[in-house]
Structure 1
Amino acid sequence: MIKTLCSLGLLALPAMASAQTAFKPNLPAVKTTSFNADTTSIAKLGAQADGVTMNTSFIQQAIDACSQKGGGVVLIPRGHWRTGPLEMRSNVNLHVATGALVQFSNQRSDFKLIKTNWEGLDAVRNQPLIYGKNLENVAITGRGILDGAGEAWHMVQKGRSLEGEWKQLVASGGALNEKQDRWYPTAQSLKGTTVKEAGVLTEEKQNIQDFEDIKDYLRPDFLVLDGCKRLLLEGVTFQNSPAWTVHPMMSQDIIIRNVNVLNGPYTPNTDALDLESCKNGVVEGCTFSAGDDAICIKSGRNEQGRKRAMPTENFIIRNCTVYRGHGGFVIGSEMSGGARNIYASNLTFIGTDIGIRFKTTRGRGGVVEDIFLENIDMKDIRGEAILFDMYYMIKDPTPQVAGSKERPVSPAKPVDETTPQFRKIQMRNVTCNGARTAMMVRGLPEMAIKDISLENATLQSDKGLVCIEADNIRLKNVTLLPTSTDPVMEVHNSQNITLDGIRYPAQAAVLLRVSGAEKAKDVRLLNTDISKAKQALELGQNVKKKAVTVSKR
């Protein structure tokens, strides 16, 4: 690392301001769980730890009886315990002891369809492996392992499988798509891919029976706690989930501590943690490795999310590590109810597709604001280290024509309740060793991304800063080390941009390019040694010189 920086003329790196005062959350106290000392072992009720016996009835009986007598602890001792889906009850701590392996059923027939919520919309899905609704004072604790038998539900892509494994999978049964490059466990699973918004409740489809023909496609979440109060998840490992893994929804007073989530690299929709429309909580000391996003903040989708009007708010997320996932820390894309007052610190992302990820699109609506991130370290990020994107799952609206540095005009649309907003987000003390893009901000022509600050950062990447349709973006004491320096920083259709104390590779081709004559305004390059760049400033077509201020150091 030092050798690389020396070769770039950057040995004297700016300090990361370790003595800087941390963000101080002013949030409500989280109400905690409390349980009676009574403990019931499932083994005493007849459960068998032989890896063969289905113990669903014994475990459920223990949970129900414990709650009915006022609560306490249900113990799953060391051993290999098979079970079907379970339902939690109020005042119960399900304690999975060290050495316990709870293996959930791989028989899809053991699961029934229920009305629930999926990706922010009212939907029908297979019941979660562990489910609780309108409960209070609930916990899952211990150092044991809960395995979700996700292989019974997952699609597998040929291109991501070894040849021998693929042949064995196809020979086992199931169904292949027309291209013969995707395998599904059953014909029902394959049929679900042909249905738009499969599983979503509509005026035409209101009954559970309407979805029986694609039941196998409607994979269950691992843990759903819906409308609950005072929740504790501590120490346990959730692995091999069929879909979303840990999913508190419309719940409050949540503590998630030292939890592990381990899902395969190409397992679809296996988010590690989804906090959806939740209020007041702490997430700390967790380790996540997922086939989709890792730490996810959500609040419903489109009109339903806006009508629900329940933002995810008042959370502290700290001291967590993500080894794999589409995003490390993520807000969206289902954020129509908003998100606010979230403090994330001391997070490490290794090998995620994107590091810090804010995503939304037209139609969502919702306001994401007052988000604070600090002490974030990243390595081997495949895409953007930091991404704010209002075009999630949509083709790039302003692609550059080959050979041209100008971006085509993207027309604005009317602003209404469906227009999403990202604003008032602070980040500081951030590092990234390897990414495609250091930081990308891409707002809408009708709604700029506003009031974003990044302070004290060192980002190594292929490309530097890309800033499109933004207002009041501030980078201070930031070192950008892109391998491509034409330009190091691009600012398009944006205003009130402050680039203060920027460090970059010596002999960079272009330090700053500003384009978008209609909106380019008040772009300031301050306290930066521009002499190291071959060209300090490049203006796009019709951009006036007065739109940019350069203060030489």
Structure 2
Amino acid sequence: MTKQLYVIAAVCLWLLSACQSSTYKYEAVYKDLPFDMPRVEAPKFPDRKVNLADFGAVGNGEELCTAAFAKAIDVLAEKGGGHLIVPAGVWFTGPIVLKSNIDLHLEKGAVILFSPDVDLYPLVETVFEGLDTRRCQSPVSGRNLENVAITGEGAIDGNGHYWRPLKREKVTEGVWKQTIARGGVYKRPTYWFPYPQTLKGDTISNMNVPQNLKTEEEWQSVRHFLRPVMVSLIECKNVWLQGVIFQNSPAWNLHPLMCENVLIEEVQVRNPSYAQNGDGLDLESCKNALIVNSTFDVGDDGICLKSGKDEDGRRRGRVCENVVVDGCTVFKGHGGFVVGSEMSGGVRNVSVSNCQFLGTDVGLRFKSKRGRGGVVENIWIRNIAMMDIPTEPITFNLYYGGKSAVEVLESGEKVPAKVEPLPVDETTPCFRNIHVKNLVCAGARRALFFNGIPEMPIDGIVLEDIDITSKLGAEFIYSKNISMKNVNIRNTEGEKIVTRYCEGVEE
């Protein structure tokens, strides 16, 4: 009898396990995942709803709803959380600060439109471009939260064109004339800034981060330059973004920073192709993230993994790890899937599958430079389709200087000749153990470009079942242990494969 009970109990446990496995929405995505990672689930919220309109908000696109958003969130939080319903309408507002156990839910036809009035966005301590710094408060933000979501069928618009500078060569004549008609100032005749303070900030900045500001007066003097990311979630646990359109951000669009258990599904992330620093998703120093069935059409990198920059990033020491990207499409963007250049804390255990990159400057883009440090490793990429890639479907650039691959090409910058090695230390970036399988690219300028550094060559890259149609062939510089299995490069000019200062490039 006892034996029978044990058998029954074992069968019940197996059935329960099978049931749980079959009911998990993304079980297929986890199948054969080459690293251990917990299932990322959407957070649960109390079955409690409040409607934004009940707190005095008017959705006519003109009346400011900042106080109504704050009041509704406070009321929900005091009751233990729930869903803040944003009904159809255009809800014009200043910054929204989320709290734990809150789902900001946009119904069909709802648009949250953020005011372009810089005075509504005070300076806050944050991280941008991987550095500890100050920026204007993000339109949507949350810090140290647990169970937080933005869901629904509506749209969030950051009114970013009022914040961003503009380069004449990136837009049509009509867009240029419409933009400069607002006033502003010029760094050069073809480079426009919306405010004098914006231009001042640019002149004292390194990669968009001002240097050597010490007093509050000095910071305030360049406040208009300190464009915020649109959605900033810092050190949050159980984050869910679902269904919503996120568009027209002042700087980066979505920026989860040091978050854990992040689910991003079925979102649309949009910026004009000319949006400066208009990244789609920058997942920085996060752990356990699932990005699925989403589209990106932006002005900079599409889906990007980061982990801090230089000394600030190494001091933080937070790896970006356990990340799965599946079923996503990137249209315009500097890169489809990107790692870096801020990767000083390291990036590891990443899977990218079943994605398509349609006209991105680069398909798979890995970028860094001397001084960063950090190790990027254990990345598996499979089932990728690309077309109309102006540069390369896959590139490693260890000399990144802030320009897009297309801008580098147009500037005529040359690949460096033989480079003298530097001593290897904590500032030496490392890219190793990266696997790419089942990739097709129909149309690129160059098939592959690996540009490493002599003291730490790009190492252990496996390319398998790759088919590329391109003008030029593949070029490998300071790379080693490169394995190519069934790699078909159909180039129309030059040699199929060129290697310089390499070891173990196996065709």
Matching of residue 280 in structure 1 with residue 288 in structure 2:
yes
Q: Is the partner of 2:393 in helix, strand or coil? A: strand
Q: Is the partner of 2:138 in helix, strand or coil? A: coil
Q: Counterparts of 1:269 and 1:158 in 2: how far apart (Å)?
A: 16
Aligned to 2:134: 124
Query: How much does 1:263 deviate?
Result: 0.2
Q: 1:430 aligns with which of 421, 434, 439?
A: 439
Q: 2:449 aligns with which of 440, 457, 465?
A: 440
Query: How much does 1:161 deviate?
Result: 3.4
Contact kept? 2:472, 2:492, Cα under 8 Å = yes
Q: Counterparts of 1:294 and 1:199 in 2: how far apart (Å)?
A: 19
Contact kept? 1:222, 1:241, Cα under 8 Å = yes
Q: 2:170 aligns with which of 154, 160, 169?
A: 160
Aligned to 1:96: 106
Aligned to 1:169: 179
Aligned to 2:91: 81
1:31-50 equivalences in 2 (<5 Å): 32-50=42-60
Which residues of structure 2 form unaligned runs of 5+? Answer: 1-30, 406-414
Aligned to 1:240: 248
- CA change 1:409–1:25 in 2 (3 A) is closer
Question: Percent identity among equivalent residues?
Answer: 43
Q: Compute the TM-score of the two structures, normalised by the length of structure 1.
A: 0.82
Q: Counterparts of 1:376 and 1:169 in 2: how far apart (Å)?
A: 37
Q: Counterparts of 1:93 and 1:207 in 2: how far apart (Å)?
A: 38
Query: How much does 1:198 deviate?
Result: 7.4
Q: 1:266 aligns with which of 265, 274, 278?
A: 274
Q: Counterparts of 1:286 and 1:201 in 2: how far apart (Å)?
A: 33
Aligned to 1:217: 225
Q: Counterparts of 1:394 and 1:47 in 2: how far apart (Å)?
A: 42
Q: Counterparts of 2:416 and 2:230 in 1: how far apart (Å)?
A: 44
Contact kept? 2:131, 2:308, Cα under 8 Å = yes
Q: Is the partner of 2:206 in helix, strand or coil? A: coil
Letter in 1 for 2:86: I
- CA change 1:75–1:109 in 2 (3 A) is same
Query: How much does 1:101 deviate?
Result: 1.0
Aligned to 2:148: 138
- CA change 1:141–1:431 in 2 (3 A) is same
Q: Counterparts of 1:477 and 1:22 in 2: how far apart (Å)?
A: 22
1:460-499 equivalences in 2 (<5 Å): 460-484=469-493, 486-499=494-507
Query: How much does 1:111 deviate?
Result: 1.1
Matching of residue 378 in structure 1 with residue 386 in structure 2:
yes
Deviation track 1:310-331 (CA, whole Å, cap 9, x = no partner) reads 1100011100000110000000
Q: Is the partner of 2:389 in helix, strand or coil? A: coil
Which residues of structure 1 form unaligned runs of 5+? Answer: 1-20, 397-405, 500-553
Q: Counterparts of 2:210 and 2:180 in 1: how far apart (Å)?
A: 33
TM-align CA RMSD: 1.9
Aligned to 1:367: 375
Query: How much does 1:207 deviate?
Result: 4.8
Q: 1:389 aligns with which of 384, 397, 406?
A: 397
- CA change 1:394–1:226 in 2 (3 A) is closer
Letter in 2 for 1:297: L
Q: 1:452 aligns with which of 437, 442, 461?
A: 461
Query: How much does 1:31 deviate?
Result: 5.2
Q: Compute the TM-score of the two structures, normalised by the length of structure 2.
A: 0.89
- CA change 1:354–1:322 in 2 (3 A) is same
Q: Counterparts of 1:282 and 1:208 in 2: how far apart (Å)?
A: 39
The number of residue pairs the alignment matches comes to 468
Aligned to 1:327: 335
Deviation track 1:288-346 (CA, whole Å, cap 9, x = no partner) reads 01100000000000011111111100011100000110000000000000000000100
Query: How much does 1:164 deviate?
Result: 4.4
Query: How much does 1:425 deviate?
Result: 0.5
